[in-house]
């Protein structure tokens, strides 16, 4: 019995003494995996520049930088030389001071147990301006990070930025509510999730007050490559308002319930589909109001190999730093390669929903464009317009209420007539009658169909034949 107890005690002693040295490698490997993922992205560079291993803890310095010339070179090309130099002199490297705790048992907030932990702080001490700003704001760092690695090699994390108030001048106060994010990552299948919020932003100035309510975000993704990340993500802004100082109690601008939703999934072994949706429940500008605005887009049957090849080709092109003419020529070559990968798989681009309401009147529309490449083999000649026309399949429909159609037509006519002395002084009723007459002409010509609530237009094209509202159109 004593031998058994002694053996167990010896094993525990070895685990306690040697375990931290073993788990130190787990923490370091986790950081190196993150660095490798970052370095796959063109224009970004991550590096572990310092690492000091200890028994119960280790320390490290991680740098994260961007290639300013690669990422912003084309945008800076037309700037004056003095402005380009200012842009280039801006800090493009951030340092993170890291401390790592080694198990075999790590206790974290909330009673969680783990194998190793990583805590990081954004270090901007190499920038005098950043250090001075931190002192003015009364904060130790603009960002902190904490991660716990469990016994299966998966990680949970939190990332935070502090709240602060800043006065850039005597008449302006900026208040920021901080950032709080949390999530996790499964290294075995490269799946991760993030959720949290960006705190309220309040800008009070002599001209007016801007308020952005806390923004909420979440995502759940499976990382395949920089171009292929399966899953979904949401971003929501409950409210944005701007009050002008001399405008009384009514906001000059307001927006409610802005939402952005993204998703990507496989629709076959060789292709993926992506959906992107924007929505806003209300936008009001100087008394004019739009409600329930939606824009939905879908991209289907996109070649996985084609997307990844495009990413690699574009990254290589940016590394060459070509001039504008070289860039245009090489982009044309990349486009040809993409066509050979994409078009035989019959890709689809669709506007799934474009709609809004104005003054109680509604417009709704959708469109779907498919390239039928089922009988095509590379190389594909993009300079052959007939080939493109014959293989396109298009279906589109728009519905608009009568009231909204007349409002839009009346406003367009009023703008066309502005400054025309021949129609100067025309009354709103006269303009309304002209708008109604124009709508009647479009009905007679077959551009619109009358419906119970307004007007409709339906367009389709297949094998080069086009129809509008069921009537065939002549070939162009």
Q: What is the pLDDT of residue 99?
A: 85
Q: What is the pLDDT of residue 381?
A: 84
Which runs of consecutive H residues, i.e. helices, occur in 44-122? 68-76, 81-89
Q: What is the pLDDT of residue 387?
A: 81
What b/e sequence results for 209-231 when a residue is b if at least 16 CB atoms lie within 10 Å of its CB, and e otherwise? ebbbbbbebbbbbebbeebbbbb
CA distance 294 to 290: 11
Q: What is the pLDDT of residue 221?
A: 95
Helix or strand run (H / E) with residue 350:
strand 348-358
Q: What is the pLDDT of residue 384?
A: 82
Q: What is the pLDDT of residue 9?
A: 40
DSSP string, 119-132: EEEEE-TT-HHHHH
pLDDT averaged over 10-residue windows placed end to end, the chain, 476 residues: 42 39 63 82 83 79 79 67 68 81 62 74 85 89 88 84 92 95 89 96 93 97 90 97 81 95 96 98 92 97 93 79 75 86 94 95 96 87 82 95 80 64 64 66 73 91 91 76
pTM for the whole thing?
0.81
CA distance 326 to 46: 29
CA distance 47 to 98: 13
ω before 173 within 30° of 0 (cis)? no
Instruction: Tell me the CB-side half-sphere exposure of residue 135, using CA atoms within 13 A.
Output: 7
Cα dist. 45→71, 125, 141 in Å? 12, 19, 22
Strands (E) located in 376-476: 392-401, 449-450, 454-462, 465-468, 471-473
CA distance 28 to 35: 11
Q: What is the pLDDT of residue 325?
A: 77
CA 214 to chain centre: 18
Token couple for 465:
């034949």
Nearest to 365 by CA among 399, 407, 404, 405: 399
SS3 178: coil
């Amino acid at each position: 019995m004593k031998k058994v107890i002694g053996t167990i005690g010896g094993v525990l002693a070895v685990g306690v003494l040697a375990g931290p040295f073993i788990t130190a490698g787990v923490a370091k490997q986790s950081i190196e995996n993150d660095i490798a993922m970052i370095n796959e992205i063109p224009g970004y560079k991550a590096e572990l520049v310092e690492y000091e291993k200890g028994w119960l803890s280790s320390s490290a310095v991680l740098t994260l930088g961007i290639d300013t010339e690669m990422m912003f070179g084309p945008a800076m090309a037309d700037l004056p030389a003095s402005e380009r130099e200012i842009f280039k002199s801006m800090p493009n490297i951030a340092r993170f001071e890291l401390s790592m705790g080694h198990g075999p048992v790590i206790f974290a907030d909330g009673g969680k147990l783990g194998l190793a932990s990583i805590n990081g702080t954004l270090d901007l001490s190499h920038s005098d301006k950043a250090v001075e700003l931190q002192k003015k704001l009364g904060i130790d760092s603009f960002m902190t990070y904490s991660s716990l690695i469990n016994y299966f090699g998966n990680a949970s994390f939190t990332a935070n930025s502090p709240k602060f108030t800043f006065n850039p001048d005597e008449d302006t106060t900026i208040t920021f509510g901080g950032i709080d994010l949390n999530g996790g990552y499964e290294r075995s299948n490269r799946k991760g999730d993030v959720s949290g919020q960006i705190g309220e932003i309040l800008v009070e100035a002599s001209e007016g007050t801007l308020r952005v309510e806390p923004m909420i975000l979440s995502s759940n993704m499976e990382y395949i490559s920089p171009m292929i990340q399966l899953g979904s993500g949401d971003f929501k802004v409950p409210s944005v308002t701007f009050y002008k100082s001399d405008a009384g109690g009514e906001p000059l601008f307001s927006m409610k319930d802005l939402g952005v939703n993204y998703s990507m999934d496989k629709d076959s072994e060789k292709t993926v589909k992506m959906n992107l949706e924007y929505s806003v429940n209300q936008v009001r500008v100087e008394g004019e109001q739009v409600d329930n605005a939606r824009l939905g887009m879908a991209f289907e049957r996109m070649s996985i190999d084609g997307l990844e090849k495009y990413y690699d080709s574009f990254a290589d092109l940016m590394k060459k730093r070509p001039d504008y003419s070289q860039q245009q020529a090489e982009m044309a070559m990349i486009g040809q390669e993409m066509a050979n990968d994409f078009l035989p798989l019959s890709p689809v681009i669709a506007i799934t929903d474009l709609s809004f309401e104005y003054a109680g009147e509604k417009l709704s529309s959708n469109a779907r464009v498919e390239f039928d490449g089922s009988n095509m083999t590379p190389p594909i000649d993009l300079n052959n317009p007939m080939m493109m026309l014959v293989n396109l399949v298009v279906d589109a429909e728009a519905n608009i209420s009568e009231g909204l159609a007349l409002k839009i037509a009346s406003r367009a006519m009023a703008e066309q007539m502005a400054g025309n002395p021949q129609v100067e002084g025309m009354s709103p009723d006269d303009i309304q009658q002209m708008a109604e007459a124009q709508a009647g002409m479009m009905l007679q010509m077959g551009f619109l169909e009358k419906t119970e609530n307004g007007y409709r237009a339906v367009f389709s094209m297949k094998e080069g034949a086009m129809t509008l509202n069921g009537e065939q159109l002549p070939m162009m």
